[in-house]
Structure 1
């Protein structure tokens, strides 16, 4: 168990220092984390709404922070290239995210064209039914994305790394709140980037 938790901590540290230097991105992750905790609670009473909240609020705020605000050039804080960071990314790097986002956006389109999802479900009769089906489909997409990357990472690095990553992802909302609750304050003070004083710079790559 201590070794497993060391792997989780390593994944969290790499994610924080390499992909969360922008205070705007950190603040968006704080919003995302709160919405994901709300989605977690909804899983027990309204899974469809949980899927909608998780993707429309949680994922949109989270990924927009990465896409629009996080720097992609050479990382002068840790003296590593963006290509290096993408190559060691345990979870979804930008290429994998683009595929996942494309599938996410295609689901409502497919449900519009084929409301019965090729005979797998009862077709929705109104917008509420369409929203329900979309939410459930997005929920399954999230679970599938988590499971597939866990298996893939287990094959690449070993099962302990795969499950450590899954644990890290599922507990990210709690960890992000603990880590980034001060980010909006820093942003209001005009600090656009985290100086990463809590991280030790890497050796040159």
Structure 2
């Protein structure tokens, strides 16, 4: 058990120091984390709303922080290139994220042009039904994405690493609130990059 918890901690630390140096990105991750916590609650109330909150607000703010604000040049703090960080990232690096974002954005379009999802579901008859189906499809994408990468890591690394990564992903909202709640205040003071020690 200590090996497992240590692996989760290593993944959290590597993710923070390599991919969350921008205070804007950290602030967006704080917003994202809070929205994911709300989405977690809605899993038990209305899973479709959970999917809409998780992807529509949580993932949109989270990934915009990475895409637009996180430095992609040589990492002076850690002494590594961006290419090196991308190569060792065991979860979703920028290339894998691009594929995931492409699928995410294609799902509402697919449902718009084929409300029955090519005969797999009962077609929505109004806008409320369309958004319900979109939320469920986004939730299914999240489960499939985490599940696929976890099993993939079983074979690439080992089951311990795969399960530690999945646990890290599920705990990210709590962890992000705990470490990034000060980021908006640092940003207001003009600190654009976290002096990670």
Per the TM superposition, whether the score is higher than 0.5 is: yes
| Deviation for aligned residue 1:118 | 1.2
Q: How does 1:53-68 map onto structure 2 within 5 Å?
A: 53-68=53-68
The runs of at least 4 consecutive aligned structure 1 residues that moved more than 3 Å come to: none
2:30, 2:112 → 1: CA distance?
33
Gaps of at least 5 residues in structure 2 are: none
Q: How does 1:55-204 map onto structure 2 within 5 Å?
A: 55-197=55-197
- Give the alignment's TM-score, normalised by structure 2: 0.99
* Residue aligning to 1:24: 24
Worse overlay, 8-17 or 111-120: 111-120
State the Cα deviation string for residues 14-66 of structure 1 (Å, max 9, x = none): 00000000000000000000000000000001000000000010000000000
Matched, 1:5 2:11: no
1:167, 1:174 → 2: CA distance?
12
1:23, 1:166 → 2: CA distance?
25
State the Cα deviation string for residues 55-82 of structure 1 (Å, max 9, x = none): 0100000000000000001001111000
| Deviation for aligned residue 1:147 | 0.2
| Deviation for aligned residue 1:119 | 1.1
- Give the alignment's TM-score, normalised by structure 1: 0.95
Query: Pairwise CA RMSD of aligned residues?
Result: 0.5
| Deviation for aligned residue 1:113 | 1.1
Aligned pairs, number: 197
Which SS does the other structure have where 1:117 is aligned? coil
| Deviation for aligned residue 1:153 | 1.0
1:22, 1:100 → 2: CA distance?
23
| Deviation for aligned residue 1:84 | 0.4
2:186, 2:114 → 1: CA distance?
47
